Amino acid sequence: MILGDLLGRAVHDSDGVKLGRVADARFVVDGAPQQLMAEARLLGLVVSPHSVSSFLGYERTGVTQPWPLPRMLRWRHRGSFLVMWEDIAVMGESVRLREGFTAYSPELVGGPE
Amino acid sequence: METRPGNTRTSKRTLLLAVCFAGTAFLTGCGGVTDTVSTAVEDSASAIATARLALGQESAGKLTTAAAATALEDSLRELQTSRDSVVRLSPSTPEDRQVRQEALAVLEGCTAGLNTARDSVAGNDGAPSAEDGKQALDEAAGRLSELKTKVGAQ
Amino acid sequence: MKLVPVPPIAGRTLDAQLHLLDRQALDNDGVPVTTVDDLELSGPEPGTEIPEGTPAPVITALLTGPVLGTRIFGGRPPSSRLIRIPWKDVADVGVVIKLGVSGDSLDADWVERWIRDKIIARIPGGRHDPR
Amino acid sequence: MKRILGVALGILTAIGGFVDIGDLVTNAVVGSRFGMSLVWVVAVGVVGICLFANMSGRVAAASGRATFEVIRERLGPRAGLANLSASFLINLMTVTAEIGGVALALQLASSVHYLLWIPVAALAVWLVVWRVKFSIMENVTGLLGLTLIVFAVALFLLKPDWGNLAGQALAPAVPDEETASSYWYYAIALFGAAMTPYEVFFFSSGAVEEGWSIKDLIQSRINVLVGFPLGGVLSVAIAGCAAVVLLPAGIAVTSLSQVILPVAEGAGKLGLAFVLIGLVAATFGAALETTLSSGYTLAQFFGWSWGKFRRPAQAARFHLSMIITLLIGIAVLSTGVDPVLITEYSVVFSAIALPLTYLPILIVANDPQYMGKHVNGRPVNVLAMIYLVIILAASLAAIPLMIVTGAGS
């Protein structure tokens, strides 16, 4: 599967209510170790109800400078949430989540450093 | 910077293009006859003044011949562009036609003066002396200022 | 919708848009090779129901290729046109993505090699090392 | 001793490198039409370029990423490509203007028509970009560009009425025969001439070329904070010479030959010799920087291998793109279009395109992932936000003013 097909797709819950669009995909580097780097496993998808894609990710980091910009963009991506791989039922033309999925905060915890 | 959905971007782009297109149309369309003539006179006066300054410096030994020749050549090119802008005019009223005629005559005189100056700078034998060049430019400047007051008064 | 704080995760997290896509890939001696245009996952067949408890997909390759046109006007180039850089060749993901292999072996670089051999190397001084 | 030499060399190169054909023409035009009443814009522009160059130098040193890599990574492909095409086209316009400037300067020295000099100038630029080491190229053109100090010397020798000049500069007012809109149009042109984007592409890529690290930043900060303001003083001297000699004589600058007349007036043939060397060196140095910047912009955006520190064969597409840029420059100039006219448009379009490269650098300079602990301090961010507003205002006002004033005629 190509990630490019997934980004921007509509996300529905199990009753078909549209929740937003796939803004990003989060991976965690804790899979089986390869020669150089462990495999990056799909942790979940970041879903954003109001905007298509976010390249600056202010809604997932605590960055506040340069002053008005992060606040404006964080407002634009308000309501974004992270949904785990286990809660995803179908990924294709659109993404459907399982019954009673959990919406996690999209906050980036373990940064890439 | 998020990518907004396509449609607002394209409508914004067409608006920008419309503005630029209107701008260029406005830029090329010429104002009234007197406006064009007065700008042409102003530019020619500036060119003649440059030529007089360059000629003065060259004869005073402050400017090399190469730099003076280039300065005079640029002034001639400036004069020709202003002359072309007057030639392209197509005046409707008789007074405008009269103004254009006069302007062309004066600009003709300036071009002749400038050429004498260039020949004097070139300084090959038989060429006019620096004094003649300077004299020709002074005459041209005089006639230009007369024209300027006349066009300005219009 | 009350957001539940994310449970602590062992290992580094990478967001595709923020840390992987459009990032510069350098080969093992630091020569830029290409930029990452897309990712290939071992993930589920698109559109098929995912049974409970199936293991999460992993990134199998970084994809690079003439995608700028499609990323602007939407759609995607046929995957045959995309050049794959297997994930096992990736040495580190930081500000740049460091690959563990040399650039020459990667066919993501054929345009560079073609221009080098056909044009630049032919001009005198082409191989002169300025340092 | 070596350290002091290094610092002095850095400063001198920054002064020599600051002035290019855009500064020369725009300052002379402004001086000949508005006197000293637009000098405040040069000050605003110099502070702006110092801030911008420092920020992009720090981004390059802290993260090893030059300007256009950062733009691609942080703006995403669509906005990034729009940014690239605008910046590249304006950079191409500047390359053409600079090569035209070199040819005009050589015509002044030799009275061989400038059109004949254009291929020679472009070939010389290519040869230097192809073979000469980065630091040697920078130092030679920078030091030779210093001879433009003769503008300041000539201004003194002209013994102007300093009170009047200072009065015009400190109490700026629109001269009566000029309209307010052309006053503001030339304010934007002057701002664009001082804060040319290519200087930042070149500055940040140069940091990566010379492998700067954080501890090298002190040297670069001195270069910028001392060199650029002195470069600004040179620009003011050019405007001053024009204001003292050309303005009273009613000469509006439209060609490079007019720019040097005040120097001949004040310092005679010796002064003229210096200014011609300075002209050729400044425009040639700027032609090198803009050609390299066009290579940097493309290579960094598309992720090609780039840099003069590599063998040309190891950065094939980088060098090929520069060759093509030079060929386009020659083609445009050989149509006989007036290089001074291209220069006037290139500085205004530089002002229009400035936000496209300023904003991403400002964003990344605050991004801990790229900068670690070297993110912008609070005072820098406050000043940077003020300048973001100034830059956006200039960029938005440029096109309407260009239309209203008919490009300043």
ipTM > 0.85, yes or no: no
How far off is chain C from A95, nearest CA to CA, in Å?
A: 8
Asked if residue D176 has pLDDT above 90, the reply is no
Four-residue CA torsion sign, D151, D155, D157, D158: positive
CB spacing of D320 vs C112 below 8 angstroms: no
Contact by Cβ (8 Å): C35, C24: yes
Q: Write the residue in D76, D369, D381 that is nearest to A65 by C-beta.
A: D381
Average pLDDT over residues D386-409: 90
Q: Is D401 exposed, middle or buried (0-12, 13-18, 19+ CB in 10 A)?
A: buried
Average pLDDT over residues D150-171: 91
Asked if residue B153 has pLDDT above 80, the reply is no
Please give the structure tokens belonging to residue D96.
Answer: 């053409």
| Rounded Cα–Cα distance for residues C21 and C37 (Å) | 6
What tens digit of pLDDT does each residue of C61-75 get?
998 876 656 555 655
Asked if residue B7 has pLDDT above 50, the reply is no
Asked if residue D304 has pLDDT above 90, the reply is no
% chain A with pLDDT above 90: 21
Average pLDDT over residues D58-72: 88
Which positions in chain D have a beta carbon within 8 angstroms of at least one beta carbon in chain C? 63-65, 69, 72-73, 76-78, 80-81, 130-131, 133-134, 299, 302-306, 308-314, 316-317, 319-320, 369-370
Contact by Cβ (8 Å): D356, B1: no
Compute the CA torsion angle D25, D30, D36, D41 (nearest 10 deg).
Answer: -80
A contacts of B3 (beta carbons < 8 Å): 52-53
Which DSSP letter does residue C11 get? S
Terminal-to-terminal C-alpha distance of chain B: 55
Among candidates D109, B119, D70, which has minimal Cα distance to C35? D70
Number of Cβ pairs < 8 A linking chain A and chain D = 28
What tens digit of pLDDT does each residue of A32-66 get?
777 778 888 899 999 998 887 777 888 888 888 88
Average pLDDT over residues D255-270: 92
Residue of B nearest to A53 (CA): B2
The reported pLDDT for the residue numbered D93 is 94
Asked if residue B19 has pLDDT above 70, the reply is no
Lowest mean pLDDT segment, chosen from A53-57, D311-315, D338-342: A53-57
Asked if residue D297 has pLDDT above 70, the reply is yes
Asked if residue B30 has pLDDT above 50, the reply is no
What tens digit of pLDDT does each residue of B98-148 get?
888 888 888 898 999 898 888 888 877 777 787 888 888 888 888 888 888
Instruction: Give the side-chain half-sphere CA count within 13 A for D170.
Output: 6
What tens digit of pLDDT does each residue of D211-252 get?
888 888 888 888 889 889 989 999 999 999 999 999 999 899
Asked if residue D275 has pLDDT above 90, the reply is yes
| Rounded Cα–Cα distance for residues D68 and D323 (Å) | 20
Categorize the per-residue pLDDT at B154 as very low, low, confident or very high, splitting at 50, 70 and 90: low
How far off is chain B from A98, nearest CA to CA, in Å?
A: 29
CB spacing of A92 vs C48 below 8 angstroms: yes
Please give the structure tokens belonging to residue C81.
Answer: 């046109």
For helices D2-18 and D228-241, the axis angle rounded to 10 degrees is: 40
What tens digit of pLDDT does each residue of D11-52 get?
887 887 789 999 999 999 999 999 999 999 999 999 999 999
Among candidates D12, D17, D38, D44, which has minimal Cα distance to D26? D38
Secondary element (H or E) of residue A36:
none
The three-class DSSP label of residue D158 is coil
Among candidates D123, D140, D105, D154, which has minimal Cα distance to D13? D140
CB spacing of C15 vs A43 below 8 angstroms: no
| Rounded Cα–Cα distance for residues D53 and B13 (Å) | 31
Long-range contacts of residues D132-141, Cβ cutoff 8 Å, at least 24 apart: D133/C130, D133/C131, D133/D308, D134/C130, D134/D206, D134/D209, D134/D210, D134/D308, D134/D309, D135/D210, D137/D288, D138/D13, D138/D17, D138/D206, D138/D285, D139/D9, D139/D13, D141/D16, D141/D17, D141/D281, D141/D282, D141/D284, D141/D285, D141/D288
Bigger pLDDT: B78 vs B9: B78
Phi-psi region of D227 (alpha: psi -120 to 50; beta: other; left: phi over 0): alpha
Asked if residue C106 has pLDDT above 90, the reply is no
Asked if residue C1 has pLDDT above 70, the reply is no
The reported pLDDT for the residue numbered B6 is 40
| Rounded Cα–Cα distance for residues A64 and A72 (Å) | 10
Secondary element (H or E) of residue C131:
none
| Rounded Cα–Cα distance for residues D379 and D397 (Å) | 27
Terminal-to-terminal C-alpha distance of chain A: 28
How many helices (H) and strands (E) in chain C? 2, 8
Terminal-to-terminal C-alpha distance of chain C: 60
Q: Write the residue in B1, B46, B78 that is nearest to D75 by C-beta.
A: B1
| Rounded Cα–Cα distance for residues A27 and C75 (Å) | 24
Q: Which domains does chain C have, with CATH numbers?
A: 16-42+57-122 (2.30.30.240)
Contacts of D217 (CB under 8 A, 6+ apart): D57, D58, D61
Strand order of the sheet with strand C97-99? C32-35, C24-26, C97-99, C90-93
Categorize the per-residue pLDDT at D290 as very low, low, confident or very high, splitting at 50, 70 and 90: very high
Q: Which domains does chain A have, with CATH numbers?
A: 3-53+79-104 (2.30.30.240)
Average pLDDT over residues C17-23: 90
Give the phi and the psi of residue C104 in degrees, each rounded to 5: -60, -30
The reported pLDDT for the residue numbered D369 is 87
Question: What is the rounded average pLDDT for all residues in chain C?
Answer: 81
| Rounded Cα–Cα distance for residues C55 and D205 (Å) | 44
The reported pLDDT for the residue numbered B79 is 92
Average pLDDT over residues D365-392: 92
Q: What angle do CA D88, D92, D95 make, to 5 degrees?
A: 135
CB spacing of A66 vs D381 below 8 angstroms: yes
The reported pLDDT for the residue numbered D335 is 93
Pairing of strands C90-93, A18-33: unpaired
Four-residue CA torsion sign, D212, D214, D219, D220: positive
The reported pLDDT for the residue numbered B2 is 37
CB spacing of C59 vs A23 below 8 angstroms: no
CB spacing of A63 vs D367 below 8 angstroms: yes
Terminal-to-terminal C-alpha distance of chain D: 52
C contacts of A5 (beta carbons < 8 Å): 46, 76
Contact by Cβ (8 Å): A27, C13: yes
% chain D with pLDDT above 90: 57
Q: What is the largest CA-CA distance in chain C?
A: 67
Bigger pLDDT: D276 vs A4: D276
Please give the structure tokens belonging to residue A51.
Answer: 């905007």
| Rounded Cα–Cα distance for residues C11 and B72 (Å) | 75
Categorize the per-residue pLDDT at D383 as very low, low, confident or very high, splitting at 50, 70 and 90: very high
Categorize the per-residue pLDDT at A29 as very low, low, confident or very high, splitting at 50, 70 and 90: confident
How far off is chain D from A56, nearest CA to CA, in Å?
A: 6
Average pLDDT over residues A94-109: 87
Bigger pLDDT: B27 vs A38: A38
Q: Count CB atoms within 10 A of the CB of residue D390.
A: 16
B contacts of D257 (beta carbons < 8 Å): 50, 54, 67, 70-71, 74
Average pLDDT over residues A12-37: 86
Categorize the per-residue pLDDT at D96 as very low, low, confident or very high, splitting at 50, 70 and 90: very high
The reported pLDDT for the residue numbered B31 is 53
The reply to whether A110 touches chain D by the CB within 8 Å rule is no
Asked if residue B4 has pLDDT above 50, the reply is no
CB spacing of D311 vs C68 below 8 angstroms: no
Bigger pLDDT: D288 vs B90: D288
Question: What is the rounded average pLDDT for all residues in chain B?
Answer: 79
Q: Which domains does chain D have, with CATH numbers?
A: 2-405 (1.20.1740.10)
